[in-house]
Every structure is written in C-alpha cells, then in structure tokens.
Amino acid sequence: MTERIVLAYSGGLDTSVAIGWIGEATGAEVIAVAVDVGQGGESLETIRQRALGCGAVEAYVADASDEFANEYCMPTLKANALYQGHYPLVSAISRPVIVKHLVKAAREFGATTVAHGCTGKGNDQVRFEVGIQTLGPDLKCIAPVRDLALTRDKAIAFAEEKGLPIETTKKNPYSIDQNVWGRAVETGYLEDIWNAPTKDIYDYTATPEFPPAPDEVTISFEAGVPVAIDGVRVTPLQAIKELNRRAGAQGVGRIDVVEDRLVGIKSREIYEAPGAMALITAHKHLEDITVEREQARFKATVGQRWAELVYDGQWFSPLKRSLDAFIEDTQKHVTGDIRMVLHGGQAIVNGRRSETSLYDFDLATYDTGDTFDQSMARGFIELWGMSAKVASGRDIRVAGK
C-alpha cells in the first residue's frame, strides 16, 4: 500500500504546492486537512476542491469554529492568558485544535506521517510536532519548507509549471495568521522594529484616532464564560464575534510587541484581538470582585505560567492539564455582569455586579453605617509587622558591635 501523508492545508500557495512537492519528494499520497477556526475568507468547500485540484487524493475539512471557541478560547479567557503580558495567544491556541484534526484524519485515512507548512525559525513547528507526538506518538512529522527545501520562489515556479488552480503572483510581504480570537501579522517592513505599522496591515480594527461615538456594552458571565451581551444570550463563539465587531470598530485590541520566541529569537509581531482583549478585560474585573485575595494572587502566577506553556506548544502537557484544574476551580463564582465603554482604542470598565461578589458595601464605606471595627487595626498592624520589627532590632544590635 502506498504511504499516505496528511498535510495541514490552508488553501494558499505554499500548502497547495506542498501537495505535489511532498508527493514528488516522498512518493506518498497526500491527504489535505483544512480546519476552520473562524479565520473567515473562502468556504471549506472551495478549499476542499482546490486541494483535490492540486493533487490531494482526499480532502478532510472541518468546521471547528465552535469547538475552538468553547474548548480553546474559553480556557484562555479563564486564565486571563497574555504571553509576556501582551499577547493573547492568537495563533498558539489554534494549533492544538488543528493538531487534533490532523491526527484524527491520519487515523481515518491510514496515514503514517503528518506534514505542516512551518519554517525552522518559528514557534508553530514546535506546537504542531509536540502536539502530534503527544496525540499520535507513532506518527512521523515533516515540514516541506524546513525539510524539503520548498521556498516561495520554488513554490511559484512549481505552481506555474504544473498549472495548479492557485494564485501565483507575489502578494504583500507580510505573514498573516488569523482566527476568531485574533489576527497576527509579521515580517516584511515590520522586521525593522523602528518602523511604525502602516494602516494597511490592519483588518479586524478601525483606526482609533477618529472613533465613532462611545459604545457601552454589558457582558454577562457564568462561571467565567460569557453568556450574554446586553442581555441577549450568546454562545462563546457569538460573544467573541460580537465583540470583534464592536470593539474592533473602536480600534480596541491593537498590539505591537517584540516577543521572545521559543527558539530563542526575538520577533516583532503585530496583533489585532478586539474581542479577546475586551473579554479578558471584562473577565479580570469580574474576578476582582468574586475571587478571594490570596487565590487571585496565586492565579495571576498560574495564568502567566499557563500562557508560557501554551505559547511553547505544551497544550497537551501534564502540567498544563494540572493548571487547568486549578484555574477551573477559581471560576466557580465568577458570575455576574460587567459594563464597559469601548472608545478610541480602549475598553474601560465602569460598572460591575454579581450575586457572588465578595465586595461588602457596609465594610467598604467610610460613611455612616460602616460595620468595620477599626479598633482591630492596631493589633493587626503590630502582629503583621512583628517579624520585620524583630529582624530590624537584630540588625541594629549586630551593627553596633
């Protein structure tokens, strides 16, 4: 039986050419796997037909938009995950769901190898291959760009020679990856980190310099998950899409950052994540009133480590799974409403309410009706500072000898 290879297929030039390129280099049959994670653009059927037209023996296509929103975006939201304090893991969280479908397709079609279009410089090669090793440890991995010398110039020449049904003209110099959680742009003009981004690179967000009138929105959560916007019930996917639209119109969620790639390279990245950033902001503010102080402090540390693991391609790791359990436990009481104003590139919270709130008005107020017993404070301060006081006395005593 001829060897079969499943290929993570985007429908673009490089992966379309990779179908025939892999076949010629290995003698294997190629099954194209396309996964919709809310990236928009062409229909799955159009992509399927193109894959078959480029020589794939089979084409596996999956609409994973709801799966991605429910099982990948929502855990990211619950963790308030921002890699290096900035990046909401737009590409990093889409790779595990694609890996899941690649392995599923490999089993379905009897493939022994999985191929992806990543280079040897980026994070995605790690995310794909570590995920594949974890879910399908018997499967091999290849990367045509990295392992089979498929450059862009060669891809264009190959497509023209074979008459492939794919656009072969040189497009803009940027590398773009997008899904419903956000959009990532890199390379080209942006590689000079002194250059400011030009307006043409943005798609999910309008310019914040001349915004429309302020847009006030109320987001309702249940156990850390958005369930309604302005009182209208929504699924996680619908919540993200609606806030992409409304926050995007106000220029919310533009991120320009130089980040530390897993392979040791610093890379300049431009992100647009209007829905993600608005939701994370709202979620954080709801946690402020519903999560106990020490639990919240520790969760911030856990969320940071969670983001690092996911960025580094460890979605399926034991540690990530253990951190998931902790984070999920913290979300029991993260239920309530957050009101925020979207305007001029900012999402500013101006109201919060929850039946499970830890905020006690009678304890917090400075007006008549205050129930806090201020006489407790003096003894508390003496005890709280005792350790430092004793150590200071020791230091003074030793210094005087």
| Residue 41 assigned to a binding site | no
**Exactly one of 4, 36, 124, 267 is catalytic; which is it?**
124
Residue type, 183: R
| Residue 124 assigned to a binding site | yes
| Residue 204 assigned to a binding site | no
**Exactly one of 14, 50, 94, 183 is catalytic; which is it?**
14
**Exactly one of 4, 48, 50, 95 is catalytic; which is it?**
95
| Residue 207 assigned to a binding site | no
| Residue 8 assigned to a binding site | yes
| Residue 91 assigned to a binding site | no
Task: Specify whether 95 is catalytic.
Answer: yes
**Exactly one of 63, 146, 175, 339 is catalytic; which is it?**
175
| Residue 385 assigned to a binding site | no
Cβ distance 314 to 95 under 8 Å? Answer: no
| Residue 14 assigned to a binding site | yes
| Residue 16 assigned to a binding site | yes
Of 114, 99, 86, nearest in space to 277 by CA:
86
| DSSP letter string, 39-84 | --SS-HHHHHHHHHHTT-SEEEEEE-HHHHIIIIIHHHHHTT--BT
| Residue 356 assigned to a binding site | no
| Residue 259 assigned to a binding site | yes
Residue type, 375: S
Q: State both tokens at 186.
A: 């890199």
| Residue 65 assigned to a binding site | no
| Residue 309 assigned to a binding site | no
Of 32, 35, 3, nearest in space to 18 by CA:
32
Residue 193 burial by Cβ neighbours in a 10 Å radius (0-12, 13-18, 19+):
exposed
Task: Specify whether 175 is catalytic.
Answer: yes
| Residue 169 φ/ψ, nearest 5 degrees | -70, 155
| Residue 11 assigned to a binding site | yes
User: Which residues are CB-contacts of 380 (< 8 A; sequence separation ≥ 6)?
Assistant: none
Residue 253 burial by Cβ neighbours in a 10 Å radius (0-12, 13-18, 19+):
buried
What is the spatial distance between Cα 22 and Cα 19, in angstroms, rounded to a whole number? 6
| Residue 267 assigned to a binding site | no
Of 338, 357, 335, nearest in space to 230 by CA:
338
What is the spatial distance between Cα 5 and Cα 7, in angstroms, rounded to a whole number? 6
| Residue 83 assigned to a binding site | no
Q: State both tokens at 362.
A: 């009678």
Of 233, 247, 226, 219, nearest in space to 337 by CA:
219
| Residue 342 assigned to a binding site | no
Cβ distance 225 to 83 under 8 Å? Answer: no
Task: Specify whether 378 is catalytic.
Answer: no
| Residue 63 assigned to a binding site | no
Q: Which residues are annotated as a binding site for L-citrulline?
A: 87, 123, 127, 175, 259, 271
Annotated binding site: 8-16, 87, 117, 119, 123-124, 127, 175, 259, 271
* Annotated binding-site ranges for ATP: 8-16, 117
- Please give the annotated binding residues for L-aspartate, written as ranges: 119, 123-124
> Which residues carry out catalysis?
14, 95, 124, 175
